[in-house]
Amino acid sequence: MKIDGTEIDTSKLISKNELLEYLNLNGACDRVLADIRERYDAEFENELMWQYPISDGLHAGVTIVVVKEGFLSLPYDDMDKIDYEIYELDHASLFDEDSLRYFIDDWKMFSDDLLNALGDMLNIIKNK
């Protein structure tokens, strides 16, 4: 499997259940997830995690983590200065084709709207 230019030996990935158990035992937050991020970076030279910092309609955002079974969505609604994102482990789930398409379409719409607005702002400032 290859993602973002990184060849991945899936046997070296953490499983969904191992990850959720690790977070449950050590703290369901991004500070604890950093342990896995560092493990992946050492093994694959890629963290294999991505922040999706806009609402999916149910949560404030999600962190996407590559696991043995696929791609895990770790949703969060709260953040703090020490632990960063606080994950809602009861709502963690693997992506399927429809949910990935939704995230891609939603991100594109968000990104296009933001880029258009920023471009308009730049033009307004330039023309003052």
Q: Is 63 helix (H, G, I), strand (E, B) or coil?
A: strand
Provide mean pLDDT across the span 39-55.
Answer: 96
Under DSSP, is residue 31 helix (H, G, I), strand (E, B) or coil?
helix
What is this structure's pTM?
0.92
Q: How far apart are CA 12 and CA 21, in angstroms?
A: 17
User: What pLDDT does residue 41 have?
Assistant: 97
Quick one: tokens of 88?
């809602």
Question: What's the mean pLDDT when you consider all of the chain?
Answer: 96
Q: Indicate the residue type of 40.
A: Y
Output the pLDDT for position 56: 86
Q: Average pLDDT in the 17-46 region?
A: 97
The pLDDT score that the predictor gives to residue 55 is: 92
For residue 116, the SS3 value is helix
Q: What is the pLDDT of residue 7?
A: 93
Q: Tell me what pLDDT residue 34 has.
A: 97
- What digits encode the pLDDT tens for the residues 55-104? 988 999 999 999 999 999 999 999 999 999 999 999 999 999 999 999 99
73 is written with which tokens?
């969505």
- DSSP state for residue 43 in the 8-state scheme: H
